[in-house]
Structure 1
Amino acid sequence: MAYPPIPQKNQESETSWMVRLTGVPGAVKEEDITQAIAKLDRPRRVEMGEMSYVADMEIDSTLIQSMLYEFGPLEKWEVSDTTKGMRVKAHATFLEESQAHHAASTLDGKPLPFCDTSKLFVEVVTSVRFKVSTRVYDVIQQRINAHKSSWERQYIHFFAFPSRGFYRVLKLEGRDRESVAKAKQDLDLILAGEVMRLDGKAILYPGSKISRESYKRLKMVEEELGVVIIRDMRTSQFRVFGAEARQALATTALNCLIKETISAHHFIPLSDEHEFRWAVDGGFKALESRLGRDKASLDRESRCIIVQGSERDFADAKTIVASKQKKFSGKLPGGEKDCSICLCEADEPIHTSCNHTYCGLCFIDMCQAQASAPLQFCIACLGNSGQCGHIFELAEIRSFLLSETFEDILEASFRSFVQRHPDQLRYCPTPDCSQVYRVVPKTKKHPATFTCDKCLASICAACHTSHPGATCAQRMGDSSGDLQALNKVKRELGIQDCPRCETSMEKTEGCNHMTCKGCSCHICWVCLATFNEGSVCYAHMRRLHGGIGI
C-alpha cells in the first residue's frame, strides 16, 4: 500500500518528497522497487525498513484453522503450494454447509491474528470433483475445452489434475451454485459418453468375452478414430467417448466387428436349470479340457456356453453337454414339476433350496413384486400354496437372475424402504434426482444442510426446503403469508398431511381408513393415528371411534 507523498526539506532548504510503502513482501529488494517505477519518476534513494512480520506457514495455518473450527468441524483443510504476491490460498471444507456460510460472513475482512496490517478474505465456493479414466480424458479433452470459455464467463474454474496412474481427477469450482450445477450437467454428459446405436437400436454383444483377435481389432478402431469404446457389462451396451464427428464411424466399425465375431462363435444356451448347474459345478471345466482352453467360455450372465472354433468343435461341445445332462434326468427335487405360482408345468424351471419349482419368468415377477411391497424387504417362497415362507438369501436370488434384474430388485427394495421410513431418509426434492439424505429432528437448533452431489441443491434436512441464512422457525413464520394462505385453503378443502411423511391427502369417499401414497402407512382419518397394518387401523377405529366411518 502506498501512502500520499510527504514533503521534506534538507539543509539547503530544498524540498523533496517521500512516499511510504507498507505491506511489502520480505523477499522484495531495493532494485525491485526501483525497477517497478517508470524511469522518469524513479526515486533518488530507497530505504528498506525493518520487517514487521516474519511468516511461519505452519503456525499461521494452525491459527486460521482454529478460527474456522469455532464455527464447526472441518472435513478437509488444504493450503496451496503456490502463492501470489503476499497472498496464500487455502481451502476449508466444513461438514455442514450452513457452518461454511456462517464462517464466511463472520470472518471475511477481519485482520489476521498474526499480522494486523493484513486481512483474511473468506468466501463460500461450490466445487465438484470427478474421477475419469486417463485414456477417456485424453479423447474428450477437446469437448471439455469447448465449454471452458463459457464457464469462465460465469466465473467457473475448471481444473484437471495430473494423472494418477489409470485415472485423473477433474474439478469445477465457482461462487454461484446454480451456474456450477449447470456446468456439472454439461460435464456429466461428456463423461457419460454416448450409447452406440444403429438405426435407433443399441448395439449389443451377447457374450461376456471377445477373442484376442477381436480385441486387437477394436483397439485399432479406437486408435484410428481417436475414440475410446467401453462396454457396460450390466446392460451389455457399448459407450463411445471422443469427438462427436467420429462417433458414427466408430459405431459402424463396431457393428461390423461384432457381426464378424458372432458369426465365428457358436452359442449353446443352458436354458434348463440342470444344464446350468452342471456347467457351474465342473461340467464346463471338463468341456474346456476336451476342446481346449481358448475354444470355449462360460457366460454366466446370459447362461450359455460360447464355442469359438470349427463346426466340429461345436458339435463335440453339444455332445458333451447332452451326455452330461443324462446324469440329471429323472425326478426333479422334491418331486415337484409345476410352478408354485402359475401351477402349470414350469417353463425354464428354477429349483429353490427349499425344494420348490418356479417358471423363470414367474420367479422374476415374484421377486419384483415382493421387493416393491410396502413391507420390510424380504423375498419369501410361495410354494406349498403359499405356506412355505422360506426367505431366500440374496446369494440364492442372485444365482437365479441376470445381474441387471438383480440390481433392479435391490433398487426397488431401497425405494420402498425410503418411502416407508420418511422420518429417517428422504429423496432430494429436485425432479428426477435420485439422491437420498438422512433426516434430522426439527427440534435441533441448527439442523444440517444437505447439498445434493448430483444436482447441487441445498436442502434443510429438517423441514426439507431451501432457506439459506434463515432458521426453520423463521421460514415457517415467513411474513409473506404464502404458507398461512396455503394452510387455510387446505383446511377449507378438507386436505390433511400424513403425520409421517407430510404427503397431502384428500378423502373423497369411503371409510376413515386411509393409505398414504408417500410412505404406505395406514392412517385413521379422524385422529390421524398411523399404523403399519390396515387391520390394526380398523381395530383402532372401532375401539375409539365406534366404527370405521361408513
Structure 2
Amino acid sequence: MSFAGVKCHLEENENHSFRVQISANATKTVAELRRPLEEIVNGRTINHPSLTPTVLQHLFSRDGINLMKSIQQETRTYILFDRHSLKVRIFGSSVNAAEAEQKLVQSLMLYHGSKQLEVSLRGRGLPPDLMKQVVKKLGPDLHGLKEKIPGANFTLNTKHHMIYICGDKELKHKVEEIVYEIAQTSSGPNGSSEMSNTEIACPICLCEVEDGYQLESCSHLFCQLCLVEQCESAIKNLDSFPICCAKEGCRAPILLRDLKALLPIEKLEELFRASLGAFVASSGGIYRFCPSPDCPSVYRVADPGTPGEPFVCGACYAETCTRCHLEYHPCISCERYREFKEDPDLSLKEWCKGKDHVKTCPVCGYTIEKTDGCNHVECRCGRHICWACLESFATGDACYEHLRFVHSAII
C-alpha cells in the first residue's frame, strides 16, 4: 500500500506474528501514521466496574467463549481475554470497539444474573476434604440432598468443588445449612478431628489453634486465618517467596492444593502475580516484564555485548527489543533508535544539514526541498513562499509580484 510518498508493508515473522513497516521521506509523517496504528494494535482495555473477577470467570466457560465470538462477528472486532490477569481488550476501530464493549458488559451481566446458584465446597472456613464428605454422605449424584429437599434439582461439579442449584436463594440457603452441618461433623483437623485443636499451638501466632488447617506436604497444623495472613503478607513483600511452612525447622513448601483451599480465586490470582514478580525481581536483571501496561508476560534480557533479539509477547503481541527494552527496531542500533525516540525529527534534521535546496516553511515548519523551477514555492499548508527570503503570501500572484519588485527576478 502506498499514498502520497508513504509506503506501508505487512510482513510475517518466523513465529507467525506480523510486523507493519511504514516508510516516508519525513520522520514526522511516519510518527503521524504510526500513532493511530498503535492505538488499533494496543486495543481498548475494558475497565467497567461491573466486570468483577467473579463475572469474568464466565469467559472461561463454553458459553462465555461463544459469547465473545458472537460479539466479534457482530461488531467486526477481535476480543482478547487474558486468563492470567483477567483483563479484556478489544481490537478494532474506536466506534466498533466501544460498541463491542457495551454489548460484552451487558451480555455478561445478564448471563451472570441468570446463572445457576452455586454453593462452594472449598475456601476459607471449610475443611479441605469437604467434597469427599459430601459425596460420602449424600452420594455422587447428590440423591441424599434430593431426598432432604424434594423436587429440587442439584448438580455436583467435582472439578471446581461446587454444587449448582436450580432454584431461588431460599433453596440455596437450605443447601448451605446441610453442607455446613457436614463440614462441622467432618473428620480431619477442621472438624471433630482425632487431635483436638486445643492440644497444639499454632506455629505462627503461638496460641491455641482456632479453625485449624493441616498442610498437605508436612501435616503441620495452623490456624487457618494465620495461613491466609501469611499468603497476604507474601503478596505485599516480594521477599516472602517461596511460601513455606512456618513451623521451626520445617520449611516444607505450601502446595498449590493448600493455596486453592485457603484462598478465593481473586486472591489466588493476586498471589500468582506477586510470585512471578518476586521471581523477576530476584533474577538480577536476567528477566523483565513485557513493557506493555498490565501485561503478565516475562522475557529473558539479551546477554551483555550481544545484539537484542525481538521478544514477541504471546499475551499482547507487542514486539520488544531484549537489549534496550523499547519497540523492536531491525536494521538500526539500540543507541540510534533511542535518539530517534527522543527526537523523532532527528534523521530529517541530519538529512537537511548542508543542503541549500532544503528549507523550512516559515508558517507551518514543514521541510521543503526545491530541486528545480522558479523561486515561487507552494507549501502543503497552502501558503506561497519566496524561496529567496522565505516571506510567505496568500496567493501565487502576490508572491510573483514580490519576486519582481524585491528580488528583480522570479528565478
TM-score (norm 1): 0.40
Amino acid at match of 1:250: K
1:278 to 110, 118, 130: 130
2:166 to 297, 301, 308: 308
**How is 1:163-174 mapped onto 2 (pairs within 5 angstroms)?**
171-174=18-21
Alignment of 1:378 onto 2:231: no
Structure of higher CA gyration radius = 1
Q: What is the Cα-based RMSD across aligned positions, in Å?
A: 5.4
* Cα distance in 2 for residues equivalent to 1:278 and 1:398: 13
Number of residues of Structure 1 aligned to a counterpart in Structure 2: 294
- Unaligned stretches of 5+ residues in structure 2: 147-151, 313-317, 336-411
1:257 to 101, 110, 114: 110
Amino acid at match of 1:341: I
1:417 to 265, 282, 291: 282
The 1:315/1:380 distance shift into structure 2, 3 A limit, reads: closer
**How is 1:41-52 mapped onto 2 (pairs within 5 angstroms)?**
none
**How is 1:310-325 mapped onto 2 (pairs within 5 angstroms)?**
314=172, 317-318=175-176, 320-325=178-183
TM-score (norm 2): 0.51
* Cα distance in 2 for residues equivalent to 1:256 and 1:450: 43
How far 1:318 sits from its partner (Å)? 3.0
Amino acid at match of 1:456: T
2:323 to 459, 464, 482: 459
Alignment of 1:194 onto 2:41: no
Alignment of 1:352 onto 2:215: yes
Contact 2:8/2:21 (<8 A) preserved: yes
* Cα distance in 1 for residues equivalent to 2:5 and 2:123: 59
Structure 1 counterpart of 2:353: none
* Cα distance in 2 for residues equivalent to 1:380 and 1:216: 41
Amino acid at match of 2:8: I
* Cα distance in 2 for residues equivalent to 1:311 and 1:212: 25
Contact 1:381/1:389 (<8 A) preserved: yes
Structure 2 counterpart of 1:246: 99
Amino acid at match of 1:317: V
* Cα distance in 2 for residues equivalent to 1:470 and 1:208: 41
Spell out, residue by residue over 1:68-94, the C-alpha distance to the aligned partner (whole angstroms, 9 max, x if none): xxxxxxxxxxxxxxxxxxxxxxxxxxx
How far 1:407 sits from its partner (Å)? 1.9
SS at match of 1:388: coil
Structure 1 counterpart of 2:7: 155
Structure 1 counterpart of 2:228: 361
How far 1:404 sits from its partner (Å)? 0.9
Contact 2:118/2:162 (<8 A) preserved: no
Spell out, residue by residue over 1:441-491, the C-alpha distance to the aligned partner (whole angstroms, 9 max, x if none): 65xxxx343444445336379xxxx996699xxxxxxxxxxxxxxxxxxxx
Contact 2:120/2:163 (<8 A) preserved: yes
How far 1:411 sits from its partner (Å)? 0.7
* Cα distance in 1 for residues equivalent to 2:70 and 2:237: 47
* Cα distance in 1 for residues equivalent to 2:289 and 2:66: 44
**How is 1:121-520 mapped onto 2 (pairs within 5 angstroms)?**
155-158=7-10, 171-174=18-21, 185-190=38-43, 193-195=44-46, 197=48, 200-205=49-54, 208=57, 233-234=83-84, 243-247=96-100, 249-251=102-104, 253-254=106-107, 256-258=109-111, 260-262=113-115, 265-268=117-120, 270-272=122-124, 274-279=126-131, 283=135, 286=139, 288-290=141-143, 295-298=154-157, 305-309=163-167, 314=172, 317-318=175-176, 320-325=178-183, 326-328=185-187, 329-331=191-193, 335=197, 339-343=202-206, 350-353=213-216, 354=218, 355-358=220-223, 359=225, 360-368=227-235, 371-373=238-240, 378-383=242-247, 386-393=248-255, 396-397=258-259, 400-401=262-263, 402=265, 403-419=268-284, 422=285, 425=286, 427=288, 435-438=298-301, 440=303, 447-453=306-312, 454-457=318-321, 459=323
Contact 1:227/1:241 (<8 A) preserved: yes
Percent identical: 13
How far 1:357 sits from its partner (Å)? 1.0
How far 1:250 sits from its partner (Å)? 0.7
The 1:295/1:214 distance shift into structure 2, 3 A limit, reads: farther
Amino acid at match of 1:158: L
* Cα distance in 1 for residues equivalent to 2:212 and 2:72: 43
Contact 1:204/1:237 (<8 A) preserved: no
SS at match of 1:418: coil
Spell out, residue by residue over 1:40-60, the C-alpha distance to the aligned partner (whole angstroms, 9 max, x if none): xxxxxxxxxxxxxxxxxxxxx
* Cα distance in 2 for residues equivalent to 1:320 and 1:391: 34
How far 1:362 sits from its partner (Å)? 1.1
How far 1:283 sits from its partner (Å)? 3.0
Contact 2:46/2:89 (<8 A) preserved: yes
How far 1:415 sits from its partner (Å)? 1.7
* Cα distance in 1 for residues equivalent to 2:252 and 2:71: 52
